[in-house]
Structure 1
Amino acid sequence: MSEALITYELDGPVALIGLNRPDKRNAINDALVDELNAAVQRAHEDANVIVLHGHGSNFCAGLDLAEALARASGKITPPRKRRRHNWHMVFDQIARGPIPVVAALHGAVVGGGLELATAAHVRVCDETAFFGLPEGQRGIFVGGGGTVRIQRVVGTTVMMDMMLTGRLLNPAEGLQEHIVRYVTPAGQALAKAKELAQRIAQNTIETNWKIVNVLPRIQDVSHDDGLFFEQLNSAMARPPEVEQRLREFVEGKAKPLVAKDEAKDAGAPGKGA
Structure 2
Amino acid sequence: MNESDEVWPTALPSCLHIERQGPIAVLILNRPAKRNALSDELVLGLQSFFSSIPSDVKGIVLHGAGDNFCAGLDLNELKDTGVAESFEKARIGQRLNDLVQFCKVPVIAVLHGAVIGGGLELAAAAHVRVAETNAYYALPEGTRGIFLGSGGSVRLPRLIGASTVIEMMLTGRVYGAEEGHHLLRLSHYLTEPGAGVAKALELAQKIAGNAPLANFAIIQAIPRISEQDPNGGLFTEMLMAGIAQGDEEAKLRLRDFLERKMDKVVRK
* TM-score between both structures, scaled by the size of structure 2: 0.87
Task: Go from structure 1 to structure 2 and tell me whether the alpha carbon gap of 1:183 and 1:252 turns closer, same or farther (over 3 Å shift).
Answer: same
- Residues 167-196 of structure 1 show CA distances to partners (whole Å, capped at 9, x for unaligned) of 111111111212101000011111111111
Secondary structure at 1:144's aligned position in 2? Answer: coil
- What residue in structure 2 maps to residue 168 of structure 1? 174
- What residue in structure 2 maps to residue 18 of structure 1? 28
- Compute the displacement of 1:248 (Å): 2.1
- Residues 91-150 of structure 1 show CA distances to partners (whole Å, capped at 9, x for unaligned) of 111101211100011000000000000000000010110011011110000101110111
How far apart, CA to CA, are the structure 2 residues paired with 1:12 and 1:221?
37
2:80 to 60, 64, 70: 70
- Compute the displacement of 1:66 (Å): 0.5
- Compute the displacement of 1:31 (Å): 0.5
Moved more, 188-197 or 237-246: 237-246
For this pair of structures, how many residues does the alignment match? 250
Unaligned 5+ residue runs, structure 1? 255-273
How far apart, CA to CA, are the structure 2 residues paired with 1:129 and 1:158?
18
- Contact 2:90–2:149 (CA under 8 A) maintained in structure 1: no
1:197 to 204, 226, 229: 204
Moved more, 44-53 or 97-106: 44-53
- Compute the displacement of 1:11 (Å): 1.2
- Compute the displacement of 1:238 (Å): 2.3
Over 4 Å off, 4+ runs: 81-84
- What residue in structure 2 maps to residue 266 of structure 1? none
1:222 aligns with 2:232: no
- Contact 1:15–1:43 (CA under 8 A) maintained in structure 2: no
1:89 aligns with 2:99: no
Task: Go from structure 1 to structure 2 and tell me whether the alpha carbon gap of 1:156 and 1:87 turns closer, same or farther (over 3 Å shift).
Answer: same
How far apart, CA to CA, are the structure 2 residues paired with 1:44 and 1:183?
30
- Residues 17-45 of structure 1 show CA distances to partners (whole Å, capped at 9, x for unaligned) of 11000000000011101111112223354
Alignment of 1:104-183 (within 5 A): 104-175=110-181, 176-183=183-190
- Compute the displacement of 1:253 (Å): 6.4
Secondary structure at 2:78's aligned position in 1? Answer: helix
- Contact 1:14–1:198 (CA under 8 A) maintained in structure 2: yes
1:28 to 38, 54, 59: 38
- Compute the displacement of 1:90 (Å): 1.3
Which amino acid is 1:249 matched to?
Answer: F
- Compute the displacement of 1:251 (Å): 2.4
Task: Go from structure 1 to structure 2 and tell me whether the alpha carbon gap of 1:108 and 1:84 turns closer, same or farther (over 3 Å shift).
Answer: closer
Secondary structure at 2:147's aligned position in 1? Answer: coil
* TM-score between both structures, scaled by the size of structure 1: 0.86
Which amino acid is 1:94 matched to?
Answer: V
Which amino acid is 1:245 matched to?
Answer: R
- What residue in structure 2 maps to residue 241 of structure 1? 249
1:250 aligns with 2:258: yes
Q: Percent identity?
A: 44
- Which has a greater percent of helix? 2
How far apart, CA to CA, are the structure 2 residues paired with 1:26 and 1:253?
49
Which amino acid is 2:225 matched to?
Answer: I
Unaligned 5+ residue runs, structure 2? 3-12, 263-268
Which amino acid is 1:188 matched to?
Answer: A
- What residue in structure 2 maps to residue 260 of structure 1? none
- Compute the displacement of 1:48 (Å): 1.1
Which amino acid is 1:33 matched to?
Answer: V
- Contact 1:100–1:208 (CA under 8 A) maintained in structure 2: yes
